[in-house]
Homo-oligomer: A and B are copies of this chain.
Amino acid sequence: MQKVNLSEKLQLFADHWNPRIVGELNGQHVKLVKLLGEFVWHSHAEEDELFLVLEGRLLMEFRDRTVELGPNEFLIVPKGVEHRPVAPEEVSVLLFEPASTLNTGDTTNAFTKTGLERI
């Protein structure tokens, strides 16, 4: 049982779209990720995802609207809902989601990350 300081963990990496695992409980992962630019459209058949913005600004695009998130704001994207994260500037995000979650959901492409690092 070690406490996790989010600011310290964010200083350990600089690349984008590459989530790190910083905690695990009840079959869920707590992850940190830095985003910049446009991701790919995808959905997760089985997993709801929580995005909590720590620093910066995140646009979560849906097919019919866009939700803008700033620091200390979170959004839960239910399973099955197509979404695309867009970060006009760098944003640091905490993710809560099942350990089974693949970052690109039901698609596989250059953004797909498996075997995530634990920091």
Contacts and interface: CB of A to CB of B under 8 A. Distances in A.
Q: How many copies of this chain does one complex carry?
A: 2
Nearest to A10: B72
Interface of A: 1-7, 23-26, 28, 30, 47-50, 54, 62, 67-69, 72-78, 81, 96-98
30 contacts: A1-B62, A1-B75, A1-B77, A1-B81, A2-B75, A3-B67, A3-B73, A3-B74, A4-B74, A5-B72, A5-B73, A6-B72, A6-B74, A23-B50, A23-B74, A24-B76, A25-B48, A25-B50, A25-B76, A25-B78, A25-B96, A25-B97, A26-B28, A26-B47, A26-B97, A28-B96, A30-B50, A30-B74, A30-B96, A54-B72
